Every structure is written in structure tokens, then in C-alpha cells.
Structure 1
Amino acid sequence: MTNSMKNLPILAGLSFGVAILVIIAAIWTDAFCLSSGTGACRVWRSVQWESIVAGALGLMGGLFVIYGTQRQIQAQREDMVSARMQDVMGLYERIKENIADIQTFIEARTDEQKNDLEVDLKDVKSHWNNLRSSLDHETLHHRVQSDPSYPPKLKRACTEARNSLINISQILMSEEASVWRTTTRIAYILNELSPNLIDAFKTEIDSYRKQLTRT
């Protein structure tokens, strides 16, 4: 919304204030001029101050109508932007949830290692499989990539963020790697690569949202 639109309620309020002041001043002047025959009072009695007040009140009402219309248009535009961003925001939120799940997985394995706890490899493997199955998002990713309206930079950032999860998924599929080696490799991706890729993805999402809002 432009600054002029944001200022409409202020202008409407000023119009209302001016109308009230004119009414008060007019009533007082009318009362004063009833018993006065000065030239100023004769001029005043020829002024149609009621029309001035009516005009100010009409201006106030018009400004409120314009403001309400602009607010409605803005709300419709925001709904359009949200609908337009649904796929890419859905993918972004899922990747963020995956990162949180992976972080929990890493912390559990690290805690086991630090405290020299006995590790149930079968349980760990089951956890790996469950985690890996949640990292794909192929269908949602394909919808984003095949949509011609999404900018190339946004699509590229989306793919790079998703690829960091695919790399983790591939590590989780390794049958030969030890628990600790796997944990270390995943932790590297999680701590060194994923944050930058996720931030870049979010930056492109915000840039595209601003572009849609301006159109």
C-alpha cells in the first residue's frame, strides 16, 4: 500500500475535525451577528457555511470509502500471493522440519557417543529408514521446478536446499558406514552446508513474494 493510501484515514480525520471546527465557529458567529450590523456580519450572513460543512463531511466520507476499497484490494492481493506461494512455501517448511528432525537424530547419537552408551543398531537403522523416507519431497519439488512463473534463482535455491537433504538421505542408506561415521558426515552437512542453503532459499522466497506484492 502506498504512503498516500496509508494517509487517507488521517486526511479523513482532519476533514472531520475541520467540519466540527467550522460548525462551532459558525454557530458562535451566527449568534454574535444576530445583534450586530457590522459589515463583517453582513458578509457572514451571506456565506452558506452549511454547504461548507456538508462538503467537508462528504470529503471525509469519500476518503473513508477510498481507504476501505484499497484495504480490500490489498487483502485480495495478499490472498493471491499466499496462494501463488503455496507450493514453494510448503516445500520450504517441510525442509525446515526435516532439518529439525535430523538435528534431533544427531543429538541423540552424539549423546550416546559422549556417554559411552550401548547403541541398539537395529533401532538406529529403523530410525534412519524412517528419517530417510521423509526427505524426498519429489512431487512437491517437481511442481515448483515445472512452474514457469517461479524465477530461475528461486528454483535453483530450492533445488540446492533439497539436494542437501538428498545427500543426507544417501548417507543414511549406507550399509557399511558406522553409526559414528554416519553421524559425523551428517553433522557436517547439517552444520556447514544446510543453513546457508536454507537461508538462500528463504531469501529468494522473500524476494519473489515482494515481486508479487508490487505487481
Structure 2
Amino acid sequence: MFAENLSAFLTHPVTATVLLLVGIIGIALELLFFSGGLLALAGVAGFALYFLGFYLAGFAGFGDLAVFGLGLVLLILELVVPSFGILSVLGAICLFGGVLMASSDPKEAALMLGIALLIAIVVIAFAIRTFKHRGVWNRFILKEQLTTDKGFTSSPDRAHLIGLTGEAITPLRPAGTAIIQGERIDVVTNGSFIPIGTSIIVVEVEGSRVVVKEMEPKLD
């Protein structure tokens, strides 16, 4: 008697639609926001109660559950091995296929599923807009701007040093330090050794790398 009452309650169109809605929203938000499994658990519970109702009514079989279970496996694989949505689409097809197959009336199930999908789309769109800073897309898009007011600094542009002269204040073996226009600058040679106190000239600048060579003595 209890099983019959439970089955009648779970398979009622309104209850079944709500369970489908919970299932779709829970799993979709888990895929989008990675809540640690809580939303996925709620989604699986919603689908599980849906299947339980039709199983108790004698309509859902193991084949239907197998198709649905395959969909869950594919969605879990999407979480572990991102496939750019391919596994998610296949998983969703299996999930919805299992839902339709388990129902006593596939047309009615399709209507319930359609209503649940429409409502779920609205809820999911609202969640994305509200929690967009926590979405899965942040794994692939660097949204933080590296500005100086946030403590980020870039390498100074030293292209203006090309052609300037200075003096090595440490041995360049080949890296070391030189004084150029009164500024201590880390420099490097093209492999040659330059002793301390030698006059040098900047011949190349690549980012923060300043390349120097020993100045040739002037001929009288």
C-alpha cells in the first residue's frame, strides 16, 4: 500500500516535473560551477526519485536505468577529463533518453521534460549571471588585469640603452653589473669575459636582458 501511494505521488505529473527540474539544475550547475559534488548529489537524487516512482509502478526497467546510468558516467568523465562539451552532450542525451524510456507515457514524459528544461534554463542563466566569477570558464580565461595599482609591475623598457657606454663594476663572466649613466644595471656579454673597471657599450636589449661588449680603444 505504501509503495503504491509513493509511486502515485512520485509519478504525478507535477511531482515528476519538479524532480526532473531538480535533476537537471543540480547536474548542470555542478558541471558549470564545481560545487564539490553537492549540486550533483541533489541532481542525482531528483532523477533517482523520478525513476523510483516509475519503477514501483512497474514501468521503468533495468535497461532504462542502464541508459540513464551511462549518461551519469559520461557527465562524470566530463568533470575528470574535459572534452569541450562532447561527453556532456552525449551524457545529456542518455539522461533524457532514460527519462523518456522509463515513463508510462513517453509523450507526457516529453512534455514534463520540456517544461523542466525551460524552467531550468531560466534558473541556470540567472545563476551564471550572478556567479559568473566562479564559473568553469575561469579555468581558461585570465580575467584579472595585471595593473600597477594592484601590485603588478612589468619589466622596464631598456631599449634606450642601446649605444650608451658605461663601466663594468663587477667581472662579467659573462653576467655581472655595470654602471650606465649613473645607474647600476645587470648586464651580460655574448660569452666573452670582461674584467672589472673595463669600459663597455650596450649592443643589444631583449626585454630585461642587456647585452654589452668591451669598448674598443680609440686610435690616435
Q: Tell me if TM exceeds 0.5.
A: no
Larger RCO (CA within 8 A; separation ≥ 6): 1
Q: Which one has a larger percent strand, Structure 1 or Structure 2?
A: 2
